[in-house]
Amino acid sequence: MSELEQEAPRRWRRFSEEFKRDAVRLVVEEGYTFKAAAAAVGVGDQSLRAWHAKFAPARPPCGENASVEELRDEVARLRKQLKRAELEREILKKATAYFAKESL
């Protein structure tokens, strides 16, 4: 028998609505990427994207009708998200350099 035939059948896991909302909150409020948030809670990123579409609060587009407070909140959220992305990028750069050095 091959390895694939010996594996146990994959079972569908069920998650509570609260669990799903908490996972979505990582993306919406904490600035996690879908991939990072999914890894943190142990689910697939496509599942998290589906939960996001279902549970994330609708954000009105910022435009001419947006208040100054809404724009400030949006800027703060985007800065937080950018800071996290920059940190992730720096970590990946250092890891890449480390593994490149190790392979020599």
Q: How confident is the model at residue 32 (pLDDT cuts 50, 70, 90)?
A: confident
Per-residue pLDDT at 60: 62
Instruction: At 13, list the tokens.
Output: 């896991």
Residue type, 60: P
| Residue whose tokens read 């050095």 | 101
Average pLDDT of every residue of the chain: 84
Per-residue pLDDT at 67: 82
Q: How confident is the model at residue 41 (pLDDT cuts 50, 70, 90)?
A: very high
Q: How far apart are CA 34 and CA 22, in angstroms?
A: 13
Mean pLDDT, rounded, for 78-94: 92
Q: How far apart are CA 72 and CA 63, in angstroms?
A: 12
Residue pair 7/38 in contact (Cβ under 8 Å)? The answer is no
Beta strands in 1-104 (DSSP E): none
Pick the CATH number of 14-58 from 1.10.8, 1.10.3470, 1.10.10, 1.20.1250: 1.10.10
